[in-house]
Amino acid sequence: MDKLRIGVIGLGWFGEIHCDTIIGLPNLELAALCTRTEDRLSALADKFGVAKRYQDYNDMLADPDIDAVSICTMWDQHTEPAIAALKAGKHVFLEKPIASTVEDAKKIVAAAKGAKGILFIGHIVRFNPRYRAAKQAIEAGRIGKIVAMSSRRNIPAAWTPTILNKIGPIVGDAIHDTDIMLWLTQDRIVSAYAQTVDVRGLKNPDIGQTMFRFAGGATATLETVWCMPEKTPFDIDERMSIIGTEGIIHIQDTFPNLGIVDADRLHSPDITYWPMFEGVRGGALRDEFAYFTNCALTGTTPTVGRPEDAAAALEATLAAEESARTGNVIRL
């Protein structure tokens, strides 16, 4: 098989971005779409020229001509379609977070063991070239033993009112940096302490500040602010510092990699994760899908995006949220 026929389950804003990305990869075919919202299904199926349209993912999974699925439902709706897809023998690209509870994450991890298809968890930051370069430098021993890390992942308030009624900033965004820190250290988190700030009175707080302790002794602080002023001229303020016994690595993305000044203001759009070029998505999301597709077509078990790693990041961030609620240090 030289082309993977994939269906997308969940057609919110990021499900559509997945579709944009899939159509630009030569060994991927966007073969089916699924959402319960009929109007949205028709609109996107027409946009992408997809004939197979489903409102029940079980009907999609019963189709023998579908080789793989991308699951972009809300995080608390991952478990049932992911397990069903694995049982149906499909390859599964599951967006992060892997699940909304540790128990559900364990169920998904268990379902992947012995499954015919592969399970890949979409922790996209691992495909950002800056973090990949940092990983190479650390593996080469260039900074010695990691002793401290810090990260910032802040976004404008305009992005987040709808999101904050579904997920908070620690599990929603700091999970990216949590996963990267686990990846870079090859260690485990043993304790979490966090505080949150409620600015706009939404279901979840706007700000999360987290501190982790690692088994090897390193410590980390993670800042996640989902209420930067709406006129902030960049989509994300993303940074990470990794301090070792023999060196330091500093990562900065996405601002100010590109600045565009027009009649309104300075803009610094994303050029790393899913920029649009000539009608299709590029960047880290394209690289992520290319990796998933290659693993599926060659029968290779992914070494990046492993469900066990995603479950560890989820457990740590959920512990941080519990800490913020209780005021206690949570031991893992």
More confident residue, 293 or 270: 293
Which pTM does this prediction carry? Answer: 0.96
Closest CA to 303 of 120, 123, 106, 130: 120
Give every CB contact of residue 322 below 8 A, 6+ residues apart in sequence: 192, 328, 330
Residue found under tokens 């599964």 = 92
Task: For residues 21-26, give the mean pLDDT.
Answer: 97
Does 256 score more than 80 pLDDT? no
Residue 77 identity = Q
- Phi, psi of 2, deg, nearest 5: -110, 0
Q: Work out the angle between the directed axes of helices 13-22 and 283-298 (0-180°, nearest 10).
A: 60
Q: Are 133 and 106 in contact (CB under 8 A)?
A: no
Q: Which amino acid is at 56?
A: D
Say if residue 255's pLDDT is above 70.
no
- Cα distance between residue 133 and residue 15, in whole Å: 28
Residue 51 pLDDT class (50, 70, 90 cuts): very high
Question: What pLDDT is attached to residue 257?
Answer: 80
**What would the DSSP string read from start to end of 296-323?**
HHHTPPPSSS-HHHHHHHHHHHHHHHHH
Where residue 305 falls among pLDDT bands split at 50, 70, 90? very high
What integer pLDDT is reported at residue 10 of this predicted model? 98
